[in-house]
Structures are given as C-alpha cells and as structure tokens.
Amino acid sequence: MELSSDLVEEILSRVPARSLARLRYTCKQWKTLIAEPRFVNKHLSHMRCREQQFTIFSNEHILSPSFGSTISCVGIDFNKPEKIGLKLPFPIALTAAMKISHCDGLLLYVTKSMLLVSNPLLNQKRWIKGSEGFDHSMDVYGLGYTSHQSSGSYDYKIVRFRCSFSTDNSSRVEVYAFKSESWKVVVDKNFHGFYGLPLSSVCLRGTPYWLGFNKDGKRLMSIQSFDFSQERFEPLYLPPPSIDLEYYISLGIFRGDQLSLLLECYRTRKIHLWVMKQQHWSTVLTVDVPQLPLFGQYLSSFIEENGRLALYTESERQCISIYINVGENQDYQKIECLNGTGRTLSDCCYVESLLQVP
C-alpha cells in the first residue's frame, strides 16, 4: 500500500526504539527519516510516556586483565515473567562508589579518571575529561538538558557536585556543556550538598532529582533537583510524615511523566507509593511486602499499567531479586536476577532511544 509520508512518520514514531534500529535499514526514506533530529525528539516524547521495562545495571568482574569490569543490565518484561539479559558492548573500569546516571536513552558512567556518555542501542560513546578537583568517591553527577521550545531542540548538560560527611555549608557545583565542551563553576548559596552520598536519583524531563540527608544537625531527608536553565538547585518538599513514622526509600518515575517516592511504614512494614501530581503528593498504592533476606533493603520500585508493582531488593551478599505482586491476594513472584556477580550500579525504568550522543 502507498501511505502518505505523514502517516508513515506517525506510525514509526510510536514504534519502540529497538525495532526502529532495525527498521531504519528498510529503505533510504526510512533511514533518512529515523535519523532526523525532529523525528528523534518526536519519538522520544511518545516513548517517555509509555510503560518501560524495569532495568538493573550491574558490573560483572571478569577474570581477565584485558577486560576488568563490564556492564550488564537485566530487564524485566511484565508480559514475560522472566529476566532478559542485555550486555553493553564495551568494557570500562568503574569506580567503587559511583552509579550510572541516565537520560533519554543516554547513559553516564563515572570511571576512575574520566566520564563516559553512551547510547548502547546505537553503540555510540564519547569520553569526557573530568574537571580539576575530580574526586570520584564523593562527587555526584546528573545528566539532563535545557529545552528550546521555538526550535524543539535540547542542550544536554552534566551537573557535578561534592558531598561530604561534614556539616560545613559548602558544596562545589560545576556544569559541563556538550556544545562548548567545557566545565564551569556554578555558585548556588542556597545549596549545601548532602550529608554523605544521595540514597536515590532519577531524571524526569531533563531534570535530575536526588533523595538524601541534609547537612544540618537534624540530618533530615530532602529531595533536591537541578534546573539546568537557571543553573541552580531547587528543593522539593516531601509528603507529610504520618504517626507511623514512614521511611523514605527511593525516587522513581510513575507512568513516564510523574515523580514517585517509595516509602515504608515502620509499624506495619507496608510499602507506600506516592506520586506528585500538580505539585501535590498523593498515595496511589499500598502493599504488604515480601520477606526480605538478611540485611536486605528495598532500593526501588516500578509499577506497570495493570497495577502490578515490582520491588527491587538487594542484600549484603549481593543477592538481587525482583518481587512482582500478582493476583488479588498480593502474592509475590520472585525472580532471581544476579547472585554475587558484582555490584549494582543503577536501577531504573530505562528508556531506549535513537538519540545521538551529543
């Protein structure tokens, strides 16, 4: 059938990125269309609001001097209750403290001496030299962008800030711009960093968020976001505490376009999933939790369109499992993901994309 070019574009913009990576070789017209920045941005806008599979990134130690540590990820597809392995195409040496940051299909790794930005789907990567004073043990990074509504383009950037276990009101903040290929120091007198490393982080619509303890005598929990357009941090208030003394566990993305927060009640041990809608927090789900392994903890969550919740857990023995609640009685199906193969680097609802590495 002969379809109009507008209709072909509309159909292809709703096809998952992994399929488009193959379909771009169908004909010259499709290859040209799929590579256009305008189409890539349109496709991304559709993919952000779709349910994505829950993905865990982990480093695997290979006993070979030529490889060192490699990155692998395990995805859970709710329609197929089994793990799906995906090994990233290149080995890198990772630091002992840092995790992977992500935004729109791009992954940011922190190595011992440099930064690496890649799109595994397109097998593209770019090395970035760290700025002076590089300290991978206590520095935190976020990947995001500023958008230009008139042109529909995005300027991708990286923010870096220093954390510590002291109570001094200072934190070095720097921003890297891909266009200028340079770092610059940002002065934000209202941001003092976190006490220790953040507990959790996500990126929503180009804005990174972190959950951690404040640098004050009370060491209260807080959420901080970084606005790349204003180049400053903005605090986000937490849900009001209840009489059950809830414990904040991790940040997440709900249905592709809303910030979520996972909490656990000290008294009932139930898990509560809060979602921010129009600057207000509301509870969308409360479930009983499965039995945790010894010294285990819940690190993140993911909920799909039918209301099934996946809870990601990790213990000191590096046993990583995902529990998916099924049925009306909230029974859980346990999926063993990794066991002693390495350290978890990140857990997120990873969105694959056709975005070129900036």
pLDDT digits (tens, 9 = 90+) for 241-278: 655 556 777 888 877 778 888 887 777 777 788 889 88
Tokens (6 digits) for 183 = 């770092």
Q: Look at residue 32 in the predicted model and tell me its pLDDT.
A: 94
More confident residue, 284 or 69: 284
pLDDT category of residue 207 using cuts at 50, 70 and 90? very high
pLDDT at 297 over 60: no
Question: Using CA atoms, how far apart are residues 128 and 92, in angstroms rounded to an integer?
Answer: 14
- What pTM does this model have? 0.83
Question: Using CA atoms, how far apart are residues 54 and 59, in angstroms rounded to an integer?
Answer: 17
Count of CB atoms situated within 10 Å of the CB of 303: 24
Q: Which residues contact 324 (CB under 8 A, 6 or more apart)?
A: 76, 78, 81, 308, 309, 310, 332, 333, 335
pLDDT at 352 over 60: yes
Question: How many Cα atoms are found within 13 Å in the side-chain-facing hemisphere of 165?
Answer: 1
CB-based contact 217:192 (threshold 8 Å) = no
Average pLDDT of the residues in 283-308: 61
The percent of residues above 70 in pLDDT, for the chain, comes to 63
* Rg of the chain taking only CA atoms, in angstroms: 21
pLDDT at 47 over 90: no
Angle at 108 between CA 104 and CA 112, to 5 degrees: 175
Q: Look at residue 210 in the predicted model and tell me its pLDDT.
A: 92
Of residues 58, 54, 50, the one with CA closest to residue 308: 54
Question: Using CA atoms, how far apart are residues 195 and 149, in angstroms rounded to an integer?
Answer: 37
Q: Where are the domains of the chain?
A: 36-348
Kindly report, residue by residue over 104-160, the tens digit of the pLDDT.
889 888 877 788 898 888 888 899 987 776 666 788 999 999 987 766 678 999 999
pLDDT category of residue 48 using cuts at 50, 70 and 90? confident
pLDDT category of residue 64 using cuts at 50, 70 and 90? very low
Kindly report, residue by residue over 311-344, the tens digit of the pLDDT.
666 655 444 555 555 555 556 666 655 554 455 5
Q: Look at residue 228 in the predicted model and tell me its pLDDT.
A: 95
**Domain 36-348 bears CATH identifier 1.10.510:** no
Question: Using CA atoms, how far apart are residues 199 and 220, in angstroms rounded to an integer?
Answer: 13
Q: Look at residue 302 in the predicted model and tell me its pLDDT.
A: 58
Q: Look at residue 247 in the predicted model and tell me its pLDDT.
A: 74
Measure the CA dihedral 36/42/43/48, to 10°.
Answer: 140
